Amino acid sequence: MVRGSDDGVVVTGAGVVGAFGVGLPAFAAGLRAGESAIAISCDLELDLCAALGALGCPAALIERARRTTLRGHRGLDWSVFSAVEAWLAAGLHTSPLPGERLGVIVAGSNLARAYQHAMTAKWAAAEASFDPRYALRFLDTDAMAILSELLGARGEGFSVGGASASGNVAIIKAAQLLRMGELDACLVVGALMELAPPELTALRNLGALGRGPCLPFDRRRAGFAVGHGAGSLVLERRASARARGARAQAEIAGGAIVLAAHHGAVPDAPAECAAMRSAMARAQLPVEAVQYVNAHATGSPAGDDAEVAALHETFGAARPWINSSKGLFGHCLTAAGVVECIAVITQIQHGFVHGNPWIEQPIDDELRFVRGAQTAGIEVAISNAFGFGGINSSIVVCGP
């Protein structure tokens, strides 16, 4: 795809909730500060209606949001806020598109395990009066349906699972629909995923989940830290954005999903390399053009070692900045790809690469790891997301 063409896919809006607080300005400030805020997000409470009001959201939309999320869970509120923030930023409230040309894709599966765990206890205590809304709330498609109703989207919509790669998978699928001409714009939502005690225990026993801070690419790393976050992007055909007078924030120039042909949790460096190279080929850009890599880098020993090998194989003598946002806000699980794409776009827009407070003893002496924040004019970046089950994905994000 030729960059800048009418058939290209651009980002016209973004929204986020997470460790740095509520909204994109807080997120950008947190990235600039470069300090870990992983624990803060666990306790963040969102008053959805008040937060939407602070965005200048129309009163009728706030009321619809209140009604559609009634008796829901925290994940729904976070998803709705991030989606509406992205929607308003894209100007779709003042310069709308026909509902039939709008789609919604929600990244992730098994999103509300903590909520389901709590509801199981309520069911056991009061089966006869159990809340019938749960019949809808336990479905991964609930957030997609709520956003479809809330924003009047009548085009294609679905939820898509790809383990920790889900966010990138959703972005790639949305871009494909746009390039095929099936939609003019698509809302991509990395919904908050909250795990229950059984999942957390299993991940810890597997050796994937650590007990301390997330230390990506550092010799002291001992597993990932759970991050709590939700992020949304409005992806749009460049021709549509131009016709509406919407400002492009970035371009999704290419993306690829590569399977490693195994079902376990073991990372696969050749498949990771193949994902990066395929994404660059689809963007019609040489790997030497990449200035910044937002690595998957969860802080797990095996995962970081495999990605280092893949980065060497992919880039050779080229030396882009290598960074991991998970050191700042943790591993947002199925939302990670969307939240981290927003982090990349933010750095492209504001001309910096965020610091990594934990990298004191890097596991590789040749890669150009980011330590302290740097001023940097980024035009071409890669964002990686790799998931259990051998799901490897990369997207190429360029300046607008």
CATH architecture label of 9-249: 3-Layer(aba) Sandwich (3.40)
Q: Is the pLDDT assigned to residue 40 strictly greater than 90? A: no
Distance CA(94)–CA(101), nearest Å, equals: 16
Q: Is the pLDDT assigned to residue 256 strictly greater than 80? A: yes
Q: Coil, strand, or helix at residue 260?
A: coil
Residue 41 binned pLDDT confidence (cut-offs 50, 70, 90):
low
Per the document, the length of the chain is 400
Distance CA(284)–CA(278), nearest Å, equals: 10
- Which pTM value belongs to this model? 0.96
Across 27-51, average pLDDT: 87
Summarised one tens digit per residue, pLDDT across range 352-392 is 999 988 899 999 999 999 988 999 999 999 999 999 999 99
The H-assigned helical ranges of 72-229 are 74-89, 113-125, 134-137, 142-151, 166-179, 197-206
Residue ranges per structural domain of the chain: 9-249, 252-398
Give me 333's structure tokens.
């699980």
The per-residue pLDDT for 70 is 85
Q: Is 252-398 a domain of CATH 3.40.50.300?
A: no
The per-residue pLDDT for 37 is 87
200: phi then psi, degrees, rounded to nearest 5? -65, -40
The per-residue pLDDT for 100 is 98
Across 312-340, average pLDDT: 95
The per-residue pLDDT for 3 is 65
The H-assigned helical ranges of 300-386 are 301-315, 326-329, 336-350
**Number of alpha carbons in the 13 Å side-chain half-sphere of residue 24:** 24
Summarised one tens digit per residue, pLDDT across range 118-173 is 999 999 998 888 988 889 999 999 999 999 999 999 999 999 999 999 999 999 99
Across 179-185, average pLDDT: 97
* Beta-bridge partner residues of 392: 258, 386
